[in-house]
């Protein structure tokens, strides 16, 4: 009844007296007052006098500036929270705020009333001692120093990196959890990132024992029960250093079309629902691929062993067999429990070389015709998908590779045709499984990406209009893709991609099929990576239950009840994994820059702000060229550029030669100095490019973390909406001096 009453207040949008509620819903007075009181206590309604009305409150994560003000991030636009009105909330906490009437600037503001959910249960930082007390100095900016209980700190020195459990209250304090190491060694930073995001590094002993008990041999009875694909030319394509091969493919020519097979490791055969392996996989949610270290979702015996589709070995699979017409229309789809024996393990490098006209290695030459056909089909699939409105950003991907002896390599991933081949086939399989579940009315975990909110789209329209790109008033994926394609190869290409990406919502998992805007697909889910993603494993169980006709009403109801929580947890763990990977990647990029201080590189401007320009090198390393090093430039938000004398401007996408001036891996930041194009004569007569000296005039201090700078669209892997910009800083009112009355 409470939800019905709340919906009524939202529909009418005006206050109501108790008598109106009684007359409208035919409730007894005591019952009606109890429901209304409960809604008031939940913060959903307010009471003033004898009238009840909707509470003007909002909920969202809080971001804080070091000067005390903050923002509650909301889909319809961020709500400004002035200094002194943030209560005891910390950055990232989910808060409830009351919306206050607009001030003199005409904009509403808010007051944080309560913290609904804390963003962090533990903190990583440096141990310090002052006046006989132990303190934790958090690694994260804008967090307060945390007093520590003395237990567990015996023998630890000042400067130790530790993890502490946070106990909230009027006076928050921490208790010691783990010692990470000393200083800023890569191993220490890796452990710090793992602890910061609450990732699970080691498997419990009982989970490993359950994994070891799984037999390596497949029983004959199981082989006979399944469809046998071992006579087909099934093969895998993965990265050079991949070990968990969870997808294999094959292709056949038909009299009037083609048959494509996508064979996915049948992890659900080994990981039973409710088992210790299943519980651990749920908690992890996903495998985490950190530079130099992998935190797998499943123990190695499964991820690199019985579930990995190794060449020459029998493996159990769940297969999608698709018959296509000559025009790539889906004519027939079959789902089968099967067994394969991969005939080859190809790498993206080999396939890319083949696509560029080079031959395959001799041992794989027999797959040349299959590859040639698949490259043609998937290229046509991609073109068709883009015509239907799918978004393609084309952001480069950079891989950080850490050698056994600590050597560091930043490797741009440049295998577009090979990776596109696999991507298109996986997208096809994911879409067809989603369609099947929807058509049969089966429960599922869908991968959803909702349309941008109208306010965000309108801001995008205005921003692109300043660059000469016109979007229609009504949201259109085709129009967005047209703008992205039109900007390709032009100086403003990164600007357009950045603005479009910024307007999108987060992709997430959901128990309802809400469609995928970025892929322009009505039905979509994740099915093709059950070794490393828990939602895929769940979808496998649903599909197999449907194929075996064992999906009873009770089982269906149980899944429908459980899937919302699974979807929320999987989305959260995915975000944590990506944030951890991104943060550690930035650390290693700063380490690389530290080794190359003084060297010159040609980069591209990927961000502009009031305090300087961000430049990204070809290997993905991004650094800041401070405003004082550039000269008399000013930031123009209207032009999205830094404007200088004599019509000069620095825009996103411009090339700039820079010298690495310094790096701070701990703060994940790199500083560049610009190098002038024209060579200058030095005192000894030699020509040298003049390096602009840094003068401390404006901009953030060198020794302070740049935690307030806006995010840029320079991420390694783009999943739709899985990057969000930080909020713009609230403009501060200019200080004016009070006029003194002149004595007459």
Ramachandran quadrant class, 56 (left: phi over 0; alpha: psi -120 to 50; beta: rest): beta
More confident residue, 713 or 171: 171
Residue at 199 is within a domain: no
Nearest-angstrom CA–CA distance, 454 and 75: 10
Residue at 24 is within a domain: yes
Contact 318, 547 (CB under 8 A): no
Q: Mean pLDDT lowest for which of 188-197, 330-339, 603-612, 676-685?
A: 676-685
Overall average pLDDT of the 7-29 stretch: 77
- Which residue, 628, 650, 674, sits at the end of a domain? 674
Is there a single domain that holds both residue 217 and residue 289?
A: yes
Model confidence at 421: pLDDT above 90: yes
Model confidence at 620: pLDDT above 70: yes
Nearest to residue 372, comparing CAs of 349, 356, 361? 356
- What is the secondary structure of 682-698 as a DSSP string? -TTS-EEEEEPPP--SS
Question: pLDDT of 232-259, one tens digit each?
Answer: 999 999 988 888 899 999 999 999 999 9
Cross-strand bridge partners of residue 455: none
Q: What is the mean pLDDT of the chain?
A: 86
Question: pLDDT of 515-551, one tens digit each?
Answer: 999 999 999 999 999 999 999 999 999 999 999 999 9
- Which residue, 528, 560, 583, sits at the end of a domain? 583
Tell me the pairing of strands 641-643 and 634-636.
Answer: antiparallel
Is there a single domain that holds both residue 275 and residue 375?
A: yes
Is there a single domain that holds both residue 106 and residue 126?
A: no
Residue at 310 is within a domain: yes
Model confidence at 31: pLDDT above 90: no
Is there a single domain that holds both residue 100 and residue 209?
A: no
Query: Positive or negative, the Cα torsion across 364, 366, 369, 370?
Result: negative
Overall average pLDDT of the 724-734 stretch: 41
Query: Quick one: pLDDT band at residue 640, thresholds 50, 70, 90?
Result: confident
Secondary structure (3-state) at 741: coil
Is there a single domain that holds both residue 294 and residue 433?
A: yes
Nearest-angstrom CA–CA distance, 21 and 28: 10
Residue at 727 is within a domain: no
CATH number where 32 lies: 1.10.10.10
Number of residues assigned to the chain: 744
Question: pLDDT of 556-610, one tens digit each?
Answer: 999 999 999 999 999 999 999 999 999 999 999 999 999 999 999 999 898 888 8
DSSP letter assigned to residue 646: G
Model confidence at 119: pLDDT above 50: yes
Is there a single domain that holds both residue 421 and residue 512?
A: yes
Query: Positive or negative, the Cα torsion across 675, 678, 680, 685?
Result: positive
Most confident range (mean pLDDT) of 64-78, 125-139, 489-503 is: 125-139
Overall average pLDDT of the 432-448 stretch: 96
- The structure tokens listed for 590 are 């700063």
- SS3 of 431-485: HHHHHHHHHHCCCCCEEEECCCCHHHHHHHHHHHHHCCCCCCCCCCHHHHHHHHH
Is there a single domain that holds both residue 632 and residue 579?
A: no
Q: Mean pLDDT lowest for which of 154-163, 471-480, 488-497, 647-656?
A: 488-497
Is there a single domain that holds both residue 434 and residue 287?
A: yes
Overall average pLDDT of the 613-642 stretch: 90
CATH number where 62 lies: 2.40.50.140
Cross-strand bridge partners of residue 616: 604, 622
- The structure tokens listed for 560 are 């429908």
Distant-in-sequence, close-in-space partners of 452: CB < 8 Å, separation ≥ 6: 460, 475, 503, 504, 505, 517
Tell me the pairing of strands 622-626 and 669-681.
Answer: parallel
Is there a single domain that holds both residue 109 and residue 254?
A: no
Residue at 481 is within a domain: no
- Which residue, 95, 117, 139, sits at the end of a domain? 117
Ramachandran quadrant class, 468 (left: phi over 0; alpha: psi -120 to 50; beta: rest): left
- The structure tokens listed for 615 are 């430049």
Total number of domains in the chain: 5
More confident residue, 341 or 636: 341
* Range list of H helices, 289-347: 300-301
Is there a single domain that holds both residue 247 and residue 209?
A: yes
Is there a single domain that holds both residue 295 and residue 396?
A: yes
Residue at 538 is within a domain: yes
Q: Which domain holds residue 510?
A: 205-450+505-583
Tell me the pairing of strands 235-238 and 344-347.
Answer: parallel
Residue at 399 is within a domain: yes
Residue at 214 is within a domain: yes
Is there a single domain that holds both residue 129 and residue 242?
A: no
């Amino acid at each position: 009844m409470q939800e019905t009453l709340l919906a009524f207040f939202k529909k009418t949008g005006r206050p109501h007296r108790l008598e109106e509620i009684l007359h409208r819903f035919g409730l007894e007075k005591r019952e009606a007052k109890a429901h209304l009181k409960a809604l008031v206590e939940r913060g959903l309604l307010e009471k003033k006098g004898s009238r009840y009305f909707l509470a003007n409150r909002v909920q969202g994560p809080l971001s804080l500036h070091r000067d005390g003000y903050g923002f509650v991030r909301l889909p319809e636009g961020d709500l400004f929270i002035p200094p002194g009105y943030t209560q005891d909330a910390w950055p990232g906490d989910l808060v409830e705020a009351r919306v206050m009437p607009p001030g003199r600037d005409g904009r509403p503001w808010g007051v944080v009333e309560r913290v609904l959910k804390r963003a962090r249960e533990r903190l990583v930082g440096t141990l310090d001692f002052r006046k006989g007390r132990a303190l934790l100095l958090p690694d994260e900016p804008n967090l307060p120093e945390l007093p520590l209980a003395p237990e567990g700190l015996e023998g630890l020195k000042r400067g130790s990196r530790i993890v502490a459990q946070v106990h909230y209250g009027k006076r928050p304090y921490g208790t010691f959890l783990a010692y990470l190491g000393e200083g800023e060694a890569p191993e220490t930073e890796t452990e710090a990132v793992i602890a910061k995001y609450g990732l699970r590094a080691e498997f419990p002993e009982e989970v490993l024992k359950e994994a070891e008990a799984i037999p390596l041999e497949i029983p004959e009875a199981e082989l006979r029960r399944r469809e046998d694909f071992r006579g087909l030319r099934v093969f895998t394509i993965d990265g050079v250093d991949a070990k968990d091969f969870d997808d294999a493919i094959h292709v056949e020519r038909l009299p009037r079309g083609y048959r494509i097979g996508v064979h996915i490791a049948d992890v659900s055969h080994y990981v039973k629902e409710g088992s210790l392996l299943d519980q651990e996989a749920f908690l992890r949610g996903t495998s985490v691929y950190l530079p130099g270290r992998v935190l797998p979702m499943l123990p190695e015996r499964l991820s690199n062993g019985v579930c990995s589709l190794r060449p020459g070995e029998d493996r159990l699979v769940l297969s999608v067999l698709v018959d296509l017409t000559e025009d790539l229309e889906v004519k027939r789809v079959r789902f089968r429990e099967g067994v394969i024996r991969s005939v080859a393990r190809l790498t993206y490098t080999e396939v890319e070389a083949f696509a560029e006209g080079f031959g395959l290695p001799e041992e794989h030459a027999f797959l040349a015709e299959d590859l040639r056909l698949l490259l043609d089909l998937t290229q046509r699939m991609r073109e068709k998908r883009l015509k239907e409105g799918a978004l393609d950003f084309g952001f480069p991907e950079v891989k950080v590779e850490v050698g056994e002896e600590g050597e560091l390599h930043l490797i741009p991933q440049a295998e577009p045709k090979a990776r596109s081949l696999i991507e298109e086939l996986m997208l096809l399989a994911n879409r067809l499984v989603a369609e099947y579940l929807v058509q049969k009315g089966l429960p599922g975990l869908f991968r959803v990406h909702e349309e941008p909110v109208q306010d965000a789209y309108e801001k995008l329209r205005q921003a692109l209009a300043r660059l000469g790109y016109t979007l229609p008033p009504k949201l259109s994926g085709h129009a967005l893709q047209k703008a992205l394609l039109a900007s390709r190869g032009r100086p403003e290409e990164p600007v357009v991609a950045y603005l479009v990406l910024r307007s999108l919502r987060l992709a997430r998992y959901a128990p309802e099929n809400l469609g995928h805007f970025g892929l322009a697909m009505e039905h979509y889910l994740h099915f093709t990576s059950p070794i490393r993603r828990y939602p895929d494993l769940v979808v496998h169980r649903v599909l197999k239950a449907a194929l075996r006709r064992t999906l009873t009403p009770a089982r269906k109801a149980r899944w429908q009840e459980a899937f919302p929580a699974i979807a929320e947890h999987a989305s959260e763990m995915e975000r944590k994994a990506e944030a951890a990977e991104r943060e550690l990647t930035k650390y290693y990029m700063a380490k690389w820059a530290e080794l190359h201080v003084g060297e010159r590189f040609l980069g591209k401007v990927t961000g502009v702000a009031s305090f300087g320009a961000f430049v990204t090198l070809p290997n993905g390393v991004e650094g800041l060229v401070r405003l004082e090093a550039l000269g008399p430039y000013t930031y123009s938000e209207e032009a999205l550029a830094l404007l200088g004398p004599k019509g000069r401007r620095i825009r996103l996408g411009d090339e700039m030669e820079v010298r690495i001036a310094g790096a701070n891996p701990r703060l994940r930041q790199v500083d560049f100095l610009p190098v002038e194009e024209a060579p200058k004569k030095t005192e000894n007569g030699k020509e040298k490019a003049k390096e602009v000296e840094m003068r401390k005039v404006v901009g953030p201090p060198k020794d302070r973390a740049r935690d307030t700078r806006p995010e840029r669209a320079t991420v390694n892997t783009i999943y739709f909406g899985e990057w969000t910009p930080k909020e713009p800083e609230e403009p501060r009112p200019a200080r004016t001096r009070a006029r003194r009355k002149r004595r007459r």
